[in-house]
Amino acid sequence: MKKTLPPTWFFGAIILAAALHYLLPLRQLLLLPWRLLGLIPLIIGIVLNLAADHAFKKLNTTVKPFERSNALITNGVFRLTRNPMYLGMTLMLLGIALMLGSTTPLAVVVVLTVLFDRLFITPEERMLEETFGDEFRAYRKRVRRWI
């Protein structure tokens, strides 16, 4: 059975956030021009994802969460967070939610964060500990899971 990859969850969350905003906006939090503040987390998220993807390619290791890594990346954006791609996607979704301006898209950000943590990060970190042992445990002590 093929597992659903994080980008699919991310793009689905964008669609859901937009649908909730237009169909069930509940309460408008931000008006223009304040909604443009959403560009800040959106851009930071894009930069985190691009930097992390570059690091994976540079060391020729997998970016897919269900495959074993052949390298433990601890430099670059991985010095700031153990999961820069998940953090990046979450920040991008937060930015989109802020630009929409209503409360309901923010709930999607929370749900996606929990899903990323439970469905991907926890199993990935278990595999990294099995593969890299003490090196990963030392890294885990130095660097936070999210921020």
The pTM (predicted TM-score) of the whole model is: 0.94
Q: Return d(Cα 16, Cα 18) in angstroms, integer.
A: 5
Q: Return d(Cα 97, Cα 15) in angstroms, integer.
A: 11
pLDDT tens digit sequence for 80-102: 999 999 999 999 999 999 999 99
> What is the Cβ-side half-sphere exposure of residue 139, based on CA atoms within 13 angstroms?
20
Q: Return d(Cα 81, Cα 86) in angstroms, integer.
A: 10
pLDDT tens digit sequence for 112-126: 999 999 999 999 999
The sign of the CA dihedral 68, 139, 93, 25 is positive
Q: Is the pLDDT of residue 31 over 90?
A: no
Q: What is the pLDDT of residue 65?
A: 87
Q: What is the pLDDT of residue 26?
A: 82
Q: Is the pLDDT of residue 1 over 80?
A: no
Share of the chain above pLDDT 70, in %: 99
Q: What is the pLDDT of residue 110?
A: 97
